[in-house]
């Protein structure tokens, strides 16, 4: 709730000189506005109170439903991409084989082999003609990269278009900054001599880290499967 000060005298004078019928009509109009938008202004009072409810229907669960609904189209989109590029792709199944093939691909792209530490892989594929890659795991997982102190979450389906030293148009990868999960859509090594790899968000913001932070680590409990 925000209270806007400094208008008391003006509003008191404004309300005093308004006919009761006009004030009553204003109150009813404001009530209708509040019911439809969750936004309310009371000009007939001695101060202005602006009330804003982030949930249009006053129910927090509606926002949760909208957030979940927003995730589903992205999941469907990645599935559609996989179906589109599957025909001419190299497809592999099984956790051990998929991990081996994903690391071989990262090495072929001159990217650190620890970039995609996924768990319980079911399938992976690579369409060399289009450059499209996908990895499917049983559940999403959260991996902690110790050297940079960052959590990265991988969705059940991770996809990207790849080229030398670069993965772009990625789906299913997020990095945690403070308390916020940020979607990553691109990762690349601009200059191999710099020893840095850059990660970019959909808004164009980017951040670079040492390539060494994403090399293969010794097996630990840092990758934690989560319920879908």
How many whole angstroms separate alpha carbon 97 and alpha carbon 171? 22
How many whole angstroms separate alpha carbon 80 and alpha carbon 153? 21
How many whole angstroms separate alpha carbon 153 and alpha carbon 125? 20
Is residue 60 a contact partner of residue 67, using CB atoms and an 8 Å limit? no
Beta pairing, strands 180-183 & 150-163:
unpaired
pLDDT 10s per residue in the chain (228 long)? Answer: 444 445 444 445 544 555 666 656 666 666 666 555 544 444 444 433 333 333 334 444 443 444 444 445 556 777 888 999 999 999 999 999 999 999 999 999 999 999 999 999 999 999 999 999 999 999 999 999 999 999 999 999 999 999 999 999 999 999 999 889 999 999 999 999 999 999 999 999 999 999 999 998 655 444 455 554
How many whole angstroms separate alpha carbon 204 and alpha carbon 128? 27
How many whole angstroms separate alpha carbon 211 and alpha carbon 97? 25
**What are the tokens at 120?**
């319980």
């Amino acid at each position: 709730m925000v209270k806007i000060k400094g208008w008391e005298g003006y509003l008191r004078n404004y309300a005093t000189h308004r006919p009761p019928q006009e004030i009553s009509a204003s109150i009813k109009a404001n009530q209708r506005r509040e019911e439809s938008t969750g936004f309310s202004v009371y000009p007939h009072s001695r101060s202005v109170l602006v009330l804003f409810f982030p949930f249009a229907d006053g129910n927090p669960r509606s926002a949760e439903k909208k957030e979940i609904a927003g995730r589903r189209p992205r999941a469907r989109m990645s599935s559609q991409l996989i179906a589109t590029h599957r025909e001419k792709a190299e497809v592999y199944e099984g956790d051990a084989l998929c991990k081996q093939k994903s690391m071989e691909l990262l090495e072929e792209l001159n990217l650190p082999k620890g970039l995609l530490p996924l768990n319980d892989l079911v399938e992976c594929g690579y369409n060399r003609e289009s450059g499209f890659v996908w990895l499917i795991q049983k559940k999403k997982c959260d991996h902690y990269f110790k050297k940079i102190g960052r959590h990265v979450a991988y969705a059940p389906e991770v996809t990207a278009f790849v080229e030398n030293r670069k993965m772009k148009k990625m789906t299913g990868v997020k990095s945690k900054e403070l308390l916020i999960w940020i979607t990553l859509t691109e990762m690349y090594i601009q200059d191999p001599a710099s020893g840095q790899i850059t990660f970019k968000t959909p808004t164009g913001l980017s951040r670079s880290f040492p390539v060494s932070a994403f090399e293969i680590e010794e097996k630990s409990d840092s990758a934690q499967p989560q319920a879908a």
